[in-house]
Structure formats: structure tokens, C-alpha cells
Amino acid sequence: MALRRRSGETDPVIATVRSPIDPLRDEGATGRIAPHPDDSDQRLQKIKEFDRTYDDDYFLTPTQMPSLESAAARVERAQELVGHGNFNLLSFDSLLRFAENYTEIGAFTKAELELLEELFYNDAGLYGFFGEKVITDLTERIPDRDVIKIAGSGHYLLKGESLERFTQIRRDVGKSIALTSGVRSIGKQYQLFLSKAVETAGNLSQASRSLAPPGYSFHARGDFDIGKAGFGLENFTERFSETEEFRRLIDLGYVSIRYTETNPFGVRHEPWHIKIV
């Protein structure tokens, strides 16, 4: 694996291996969490000011940027062809088959596949993301029988606890609550992460402060996002925490937010992200 340069450095560096310790936990914590290398003040600053560059951020190399941009565009074309709702369930193997069989997408190049595999198999702690890896098999797929499509949303939920919790929230808060993102396959998480990595010019640390890298998203295990109906993209900003819907969610007492304002994962505050697992 090629070495990476961090912002402000002239020579490549090798990340050190961290020993597990008793981690800081909050209501979003689950499983073993790698110790965060930053002190508390710096960690909280990065969570609060997530959309900026820091001196120790981890970047792709200039030679990888063309592969990042072309792979991201290819995955976007696949989503357009398959349909946004269906793409949420698309496995990595199915994504590759669609790309090979449809000229509108085009087969992934060797360099693109190497980059996709590196993004999946890298320890995301390299980027400053300290959540648990929940998908360890790149070829994992979500069985159709395990999900149900939520009418009017274009999204799916896993049957069982996820569906029951959303139904309970909808009943207790009201129809102004909307499902804004449900279960996500590895293909969908790639689409989101690649898009953010392109937007940040290959800054994987900055991308990881906005969303989980491929393999680390609990959307594959039952978490889901909710928002206020008609609120649009504002549902994915701090403004959602100012709504009556959010206040009622917190008042209910049985709702947990995975990425809180002081979360140990290194991710921005996501008041819309409901923790299930």
C-alpha cells in the first residue's frame, strides 16, 4: 500500500498502531473504540468545525486523485441507472456487474478498483475516524427479504427493531417526521464517501468527519436518519436540532443519537442519525 502525505508535510509518514484502552463512551458508543490521539479540546474542535482542513489530515496522493474522480463519477452513473432507491441495497459485486454490462456506466479500471479496495480495507483510524467497522466482507449483500420499503420515502428499513422504532417515532411525534435515509449497502456508502472525498480534494479525514467510510456505517446494521417533512437538505444540518420535531424526539426518552456533540468517533454532530444497534 502506498504511503500517504498529511497536510503540511513534505515526506510521507507511516501511521502508528494504537493499543486498545478503555474508551470514552457516550450514548452513541458501541463495541471497542480505538483511543483518540487528540486531546479533548482538539477532538471537540474537529467535531464542531468538521468542514475545514487540519494540519494532520490524511490525503490521497496526487496520483490517486484521477482514480478517485473517475470512480466517483462511475458510481454516480450506476446510481442513476439503477435508481436511487434500489441503489441503497446494491452490493459491491452487483455494482461491478452493472458497470461491466452497461456502457452508460463503463467497467471500473484496475486503478479504480485498487483505490476502492484500499478505502475499504484501510483502518479508518488513519483518517481520524474511530468508530467500529461493522462490515468486514466487501462482498456482503443485504437480502431483499430482510428489508421493507417505506412508502413515500424512497428508502428501506431493516425489518425488526429498525422498522419498529421508526413506526414508534412516527406514531409518537407525528406525520411531520420523515425517513431521510434508511438501510445502506456498501455500494451506497461508497457513493456517499467518494462524493465527499472528491469535494474535499482527497482529504479523507475531512470526508470522515462528515460520514463513515465504507464498511463503518451503521446504516448497514439498522441505523436510520429522520428529518422534518418538507425541510429538505436542512435536515442534514444543525438546523434540524432547532425544530419542534427534534425536541419531541429527545423528550420521548427512548431515542438515542449515535453521533452526539461530544461523540468519541471524530464525526460531526448528527442530530438526525438514530442509533439502533
Edge-to-edge strands, sheet with 273-274: 177-181, 224-228, 273-274
Is 230 exposed, middle or buried, given 0-12, 13-18 or 19+ CB atoms closer than 10 A?
exposed
**Is residue 185 over pLDDT 70?**
yes
pLDDT at 43: 87
Task: Report the largest interatomic distance among the alpha carbons of the chain, rounded to a whole angstrom.
Answer: 56
Of the candidates 86, 99, 27, the one whose C-alpha atom is nearest the C-alpha of residue 258 is 27
Mean pLDDT confidence for 142-149: 97
Rg of the chain over CA atoms, in angstroms? 19
Give the pLDDT band of residue 41 (cuts 50, 70, 90): confident
Strands 177-181 and 155-158: unpaired
pLDDT at 186: 97
Contacts with 121 (C-beta within 8 Å, 6 or more apart), sequence order = 138
Do residues 207 and 193 touch, judged by C-beta distance below 8 A?
A: yes
Question: The whole model's pTM is what?
Answer: 0.86
Residue corresponding to grid cell 419531541: 248
**Which pLDDT tens digit goes with each residue over 56-78?**
999 999 999 999 999 999 999 99
Phi-psi category of 136—alpha, beta or left, where left has phi over 0 and alpha has psi -120 to 50? alpha
**Which pLDDT tens digit goes with each residue over 218-271?**
999 999 999 999 999 999 999 999 999 999 999 999 999 999 999 999 999 999
DSSP string, 71-108: HHHHHHHHHHHH-HHHHTT--HHHHHHHHHH-TTT-PP
C-alpha–C-alpha distance, residues 271 and 277, integer Å: 16
C-alpha–C-alpha distance, residues 151 and 220, integer Å: 20
- CATH says 40-47+54-274 is which class? alpha beta
Tell me what the pLDDT averaged over the chain comes to. 88
